[in-house]
Amino acid sequence: MKKLLNFKMTKKQILISSSILVTASFVLNKLIGYHYVTIALMLLTALIAGLPILKRAIVSARYLVVGIDALVSIAVIGAIIIQEYWEAAAVTFLFMLGDYLESRTIEKTRSSIRSLLDLSPDTARIKRGDEEVIVSPDEVVMHDLVVIRPGEKIPVDGKVIEGSAYINQSAITGESMPIFKELNDSVFSGTIIESGYLIVEAEKVGEDTTFARILHMVEDAADKKAKTQKFLERFSKYYTPAIILMSIIFYFITKDIRLALTLLVISCPGALVISAPVSIVAGIGNGAKKGVLVKGGDIMEKLGTVKVIAFDKTGTLTTGQPRVTRVKSFQLSEEKVLEIAAAGEAYSEHPLAKAIINRAKEGNEGNSNTINRAEESTIITGQGISFTYEDKDYLIGNRKLLNEKGINYQDLEQYIQDEESKGQTLVILADKSEVIGIISIADAVRQESLSLVSDLKKKGIKKTVMLTGDNGLAAKEIARQTGMDDYYFELLPEDKVNALNELSTKYGRTAMVGDGVNDAPALASADLGIAIGHLGADVAMETADVVLMSENIDSLSYAIGLSRATVFNMKQNIYFALAVSAFLLAGVLFKKVNLSLGMLIHELSVFLVVVNAVRLLGYKERRKKV
Amino acid sequence: MAKRTYQLETLACPSCSAKIGALLKKTKGVNEAEVLYNTSRVKLDFDEEVVTSDELKAKIATLGYQVLSER
């Protein structure tokens, strides 16, 4: 007996042998009836398919867990005792077959997440002295020089110190457009070089890389339960013992052992318990592949029911990098104005100065200009700079500077006001006596932000607002361009939190979308915090409930659609499972469903629920027709 | 004190994860055990002087689940 118990077969072997046996006994039963050969075959099926079930039941009984294994075991043993050999064989076979099919299909629902894990780099080629050695990515240490060739994965986060390359970052951002990287650019682990060649100095390695952290977040997200799921688990905790009790009571009242055993088999609402988690994991997997990380089932449920979405301005709706939008020149050419202005600003770290220098560098027709520096320059705090360039004196700065230095700009007043009302910040360049140029600078709206509001409105979002720390004029212009319903300006971080609370009580569930630069408190306190990805912005990534990995804010409407599809799929599963449970219970009580049929329906319903969830992996945004 | 995460073969039914959780929580030396159904993982916090990682893996195997990898 002991030897028999230790006799091991693989799951596949069990599946194949019991399939043959169960078919043989079925055919024999039709041909020669309940002959002892038939009975022997049936018992053998029950033994081969049932032994692993019984073993698991015994082990779990030791830990006081009554699972479906125990119930099926009791039912099968009962069936053998009352000489229902065919039922015993059929039930064990179906249970095992169902188990096998379910684990295969469940594997499928998790495949998106699994495939993400497979993207982890396996090897790293590092420079030690003059030699290149291949090591495991875990062995790379900070400041190692890593060499990456076309087709290879970057194994660390770091900075390019030599070479240039086109990099596919889709593993992280979900965007397949390759991005050009050169000297001093940051590159990330898990991304792939499509063409080119890089030497990268490692800054973050192993578990600290952005990619590793994203993987951990996705894994943890997959197991954060949805509210519905918790409810279902509570429900089945009572459902199973209740049916078992019912089965015992029925047995004592009716003495109908068949009925009692059948009740045991259907008492585990397998499809119901599994209905929510399979949908959630498939939904999260789908998102993760497209660069939308939803951190758990509960978030998935919330995201689809958001009423108001609040946006941070700088870096979220806009690119976050001020650019020169217009150069107005008097006397000199635009080129010359920019050249002088850049020379004056050459020593400044101010974002406006950077915008001017960048524009001056761009030059005309793609030639990049070199920047000359002022021979002498003095910073006038809060106003600008006075400097000498090519032996002439200049002033560059704001209106206060002109007033201070007594330079007349009366006739330009109208132009200045017009530009400012369009949200432009102006930098004025003057020589000793008069204004020679006015440079308009603004933080440009992202292309995708323009269609954002109409997309969200189509998804049924009631209200979109913008929260910004910037001044009213700049805020108004961006709000106008993007079509926001409302905008709040000159907000301090705590004002953003208050504004969110207000919106939430007034209109319902409110989400905050930000890049985390100065809106971390808002992201944390909103009903739902959505961080828009700047790779490496770790704090925002960790506090937010949803992370959009790519900078493309389009993925917000995808995330909302996905969340709704996931919740819808979950509900389909739940209602279906409930209906099956009710149907089975009624069927058994009215004696229309026997042991093997009960098992068949049970297993089939679990299978269908999983297959339904697998459909979610193929969820795509219906793109608007252009 | 040691922290480990085991990757198990696919957990097909939620009741299997309940079983593994119950087993581990009753094991001496285990302070915390969390079974993650969707990713088929077990997160453990245990006292290495009382119980070793190999012993824990063997225990899980008695329930019919192989530990594929650990970290």
Task: Indicate the range of A2-6, A130-134, A300-304, B37-41 predicted with least confidence.
Answer: A2-6
In this structure, chain A runs to a length of 626
Query: Which residues fall within 8 angstroms of residue A586, CB to CB, at 6 or more apart?
Result: none
Q: State the average pLDDT over residues A231-235.
A: 83
Residue A538 annotated in active site: no
Q: How far is A97 from chain B (nearest CA, A)?
A: 13
Rounded CA gap, A84 and A257, in Å? 11
* B15 contact partners, CB below 8 Å, separation of at least 6: A65, A67, A68, A268, A273
Diameter of chain B by CA atoms? Answer: 33
CA angle A598, A599, A601 (to 5 degrees): 65
Instruction: Return the pLDDT at A368.
Output: 65
Rounded CA separation B24/B59 (Å):
8
- Give, to the nearest 10 degrees, the angle between helix A257-266 and helix A555-589: 170
The reported pLDDT for the residue numbered A571 is: 94
Task: Select from A60, A268, A270 the Cβ nearest to the Cβ of B19.
Answer: A60
Give yes or no for B42 touching A (CB within 8 A).
no
d(CA A526, CA A491): 16
**Cα–Cα dist A60/B20, whole Å:** 9
pLDDT of residue A508: 92
Alpha helices in A492-531 (DSSP H): 493-507, 520-525
What's B2-70's CATH class? Answer: alpha beta
Position B62 scores a pLDDT of 80
Q: Does domain A323-442 have CATH number 3.40.1110.10?
A: yes
What ipTM did this prediction achieve?
Answer: 0.77
Taking the C-alpha atoms of residue A503 and residue A499, their distance in angstroms, rounded to an integer, is 6
Q: Phi and psi of A255, rounded to 5°?
A: 55, 25
- Report chain B residues whose CB lies below 8 A from the CB of A55: 64
Say whether A56 and B37 touch across the interface (CB within 8 A).
Answer: no
Q: CA-to-CA distance for A75 and A585, rounded, in angstroms?
A: 16
- Residue A602, token pair as written in the block: 């049970």
Distance CA A387, CA A394 (A): 5
Is residue A265 within 8 A of residue A595, CB to CB? The reply is yes
- DSSP letter at A206? G
Angle at B56 between CA B50 and CA B61, to 5 degrees: 155
Please check whether residue B63 touches A, CB under 8 A.
yes
Query: What percentage of chain A reaches a pLDDT higher than 90?
Result: 26
- Interface A–B counts its CB contacts (< 8 A) at 65
Active-site option among A69, A298, A312, A527 = A312
- Give residue A365's pLDDT: 55
* In the predicted structure, residue A626 carries a pLDDT above the cut 50: no
Q: Which CATH architecture has domain A118-214?
A: Distorted Sandwich (2.70)
pLDDT band at A612 (very low <50, low <70, confident <90, very high): very high
Q: What pLDDT band is residue A6 in, cutting at 50, 70 and 90?
A: low
Which of A63, A61, A24, A59 shows the shortest CA–CA distance to A45?
A: A24
Q: What is the pLDDT of residue A537?
A: 64
Contact of A399 with A427, CB cutoff 8 Å: no
Sequence-separated (6 or more) residues with CB below 8 Å from residue A384: A395, A396, A397, A398, A401, A427
Q: Which two tokens stand for residue B46?
A: 């245990």
- Can you give the pLDDT at residue A529? 92
What are A455-512's pLDDT values in tens digits?
Answer: 999 988 999 999 988 788 888 889 999 999 999 988 888 889 999 999 999 999 999 9
Residue A603 vs residues A94, A98, A599: alpha-carbon distances, Å: 7, 5, 6
- Chain B CB within 8 Å of residue A108 CB: no
- Report pLDDT digits (tens) over B35-69: 888 888 888 899 988 898 888 998 888 877 888 88
Domains A118-214 and A323-442 share a fold: no
Task: Give CA–CA dist A386/A376, Å, rounded.
Answer: 8
Please state the domain extents for chain B: 2-70
Tens digits of per-residue pLDDT, A194-203?
888 899 999 9
State the Cα angle at A25 between A21 and A28, rounded to 5°.
140
Write out the two tokens for A456: 């969200």
Q: Which of A144, A146, A187, A145 is nearest to A165 (CA)?
A: A187
Nearest Cα of chain A lies from the Cα of B53 at a distance, in angstroms, of 20
Q: What is the mean pLDDT of chain A?
A: 86
**Overall average pLDDT of the A392-402 stretch:** 89
Class of the domain covering A280-317+448-562: alpha beta
Tens digits of residue pLDDT in A316-367? 888 877 889 899 998 888 888 998 999 998 887 777 888 898 888 876 555 5
| Angle (nearest 5°) at CA A261 between B62 and B22 | 30
Specify the pLDDT at position A3. 47
CA A557, A559, A560, A564 dihedral sign is positive
Question: CA of A567 to nearest chain B CA: how many angstroms apart?
Answer: 17
Q: What average pLDDT does range A440-446 have in this prediction?
A: 87
Of B12, B15, B64, the CB nearest to A102: B12
Cβ–Cβ contact B3 with A under 8 A: no
The pLDDT assigned to A282 comes to: 92
**pLDDT number for residue A388:** 92
> Residue A334's pLDDT is what?
87
- The token pair at A211 is 């990619």
CA distance A112 to A282: 8
Q: What is the pLDDT of residues A115-154, one digit of tens each?
A: 777 778 888 999 888 888 888 888 888 899 999 988 889 9
Contact of B7 with chain A, judged by CB distance below 8 Å, is answered with: no
The answer to whether residues A310 and A499 touch, using CB atoms and an 8 Å cutoff, is yes
Mean pLDDT over A175-179 rounds to 78
Query: Residue A129's Cα: distance from chain center in Å?
Result: 40
pLDDT band at A273 (very low <50, low <70, confident <90, very high): confident
Q: CB of A106 within 8 A of CB of B10?
A: yes
DSSP string covering A29-72, please?
HHHH-S-HHHHHHHHHHHHHHHHHHHHHHHHHHHTT---HHHHH
Q: Is A298 on the interface with B (CB under 8 A)?
A: no
- DSSP class of residue A137 equals G
In 3D, which of A548, A471, A538 has the Cα closest to residue A511? A548
Q: Residue type for A559, please?
A: A
Residue A263, amino acid:
L
- DSSP classification of residue A368: P
**Residues A534-565: tens digit of each pLDDT:** 665 667 787 889 999 887 788 899 999 999 99
Q: How many CB atoms lie within 10 A of CB A581?
A: 23
Give chain A positions within 8 Å (CB) of B36: 219, 222-223
Cβ atoms within 10 A of the Cβ of A477, count? 19
Residues A533 and A547 sit within 8 Å (Cβ to Cβ): yes
- The predicted structure's pLDDT at residue A425: 84
Span A31-83, pLDDT tens digits: 887 778 888 999 999 998 888 888 888 877 777 777 778 888 888 999 999 88
Interatomic CA distance for residues B49 and B2, integer angstroms: 10
- Tell me the domain boundaries of chain A: 118-214, 280-317+448-562, 323-442
pLDDT digits (tens, 9 = 90+) for A374-384: 888 888 877 88
User: What's the rounded Cα separation, in Å, for the pair A99 and A617?
Assistant: 22
Neighbours of A194 (CB within 10 A): 13
**Rounded CA gap, A154 and A190, in Å?**
6
**Cα–Cα distances in Å, from A14 out to A67, A91, A93, A97, A121?**
21, 15, 10, 10, 37
Q: CA-CA distance, A282 to A52, in Å (whole number)? A: 29
